[in-house]
Amino acid sequence: MNLWQNYKKVLHNTFELHNGVDSVWAEWEGKKNHKLTAKTYTNKYFIKAREVEIWNENTCIYNNILYPKTGSNLPCFGMDLMGFNENRVIIVFDFQHPTENFMFSHPNLPVATEDYRFFEKGNHFSENIFVRKCKMDEVDQYVGEFAQYLDAYRKMVEAIQPDGEDTSVYADFDTYMTRLDPVGGYLKGIFGEERAEELVKSFLFCYNK
């Protein structure tokens, strides 16, 4: 299943992302024929983009966070595209600022009018957070908004051209996400506790304190 192919196409058309010989962190098989790949990508303005895909014949999940190079107070950009079954899909993408209790807002993008569990505006999530629930045959309805957000992010990054490598900037963000993100419990049920913990702490949010 390749539910998110058009979103991935937009991402790679917006940013030139490269992966080298050591880019594959994991390739796993789990319960109910689930498969997982975890990879990293690089770019001249990003320390990394770290990507996880989980899928079987009924499920397709795509998660990626772009960590910009440091020194310019830029947010990350995160996407959590979750297709659990034909009728249960959650689409989330947002600017995720590494500083705790920092309210980031982009003036040319819509402001979210609702509050969302696990996505706390003003605490590593922005006022512009985009969240939608839909069915699998409806996911491409939101590709345009995804492209709009990514293009706004590209313009921010290219205007500043960050070049720092201080990953300690992301310690608070990754620690917060390790504590808050429900992915650990989901992964545990499919791939086991040891692998789930390893993925969360050593790959997804490896800058955690």
Digit-coded pLDDT (tens) for 3-56? 999 999 999 999 999 987 789 999 999 999 999 999 999 999 999 999 999 999
| 73-77, 89-93, 186-190: segment of lowest average pLDDT | 186-190
Question: What's the mean pLDDT in 53-81?
Answer: 97
- Nearest-10 Cα torsion for 34, 132, 199, 150: 120
- The tokens for 105 are 């807002």
The yes-or-no verdict on residue 120 having pLDDT over 70 is no
Candidate list 22, 80, 151, 166, residue with the active-site label: 80
Q: Is 94 known to be catalytic?
A: no
Q: Please, are residues 48 and 65 in contact by the beta-carbon 8 Å criterion?
A: no
The yes-or-no verdict on residue 97 having pLDDT over 70 is yes
Pairing of strands 88-96, 130-134: antiparallel
% of the chain beyond a pLDDT of 70:
96
Q: How far apart are CA 15 and CA 123, in angstroms?
A: 26
At a CB cut-off of 8 Å and minimum separation 6, what does 11 contact? 17, 64, 79, 150
Question: What's the mean pLDDT in 149-155?
Answer: 98
- Nearest-10 Cα torsion for 26, 29, 34, 37: 10
pTM: 0.94
**pLDDT digits over 154-173, tens only?**
999 999 999 999 999 999 99
CATH code for the part of the protein at 5-165? 3.40.1500.20
The yes-or-no verdict on residue 122 having pLDDT over 90 is no
The residues spanned by each domain of the chain are 5-165
Average pLDDT, the chain: 93
At a CB cut-off of 8 Å and minimum separation 6, what does 80 contact? 63, 90, 91, 92, 93
Q: What is the pLDDT of residue 123?
A: 76
Q: Is residue 12 left, alpha or beta, with left meaning phi > 0 and alpha meaning psi from -120 to 50?
A: alpha
Candidate list 22, 151, 174, 181, residue with the active-site label: 181
Helices 5-14 and 143-160 sit at what angle, rounded to 10 degrees? 20
At a CB cut-off of 8 Å and minimum separation 6, what does 50 contact? 38, 39, 40, 41, 64, 65, 67, 203, 204
Q: What Cα–Cα distance (Å) separates residue 129 from each residue in 40, 56, 76, 110?
A: 24, 28, 13, 9
How many whole angstroms from its chain centre is CA 198? 18
Q: What is the pLDDT of residue 24?
A: 96
The yes-or-no verdict on residue 126 having pLDDT over 80 is yes
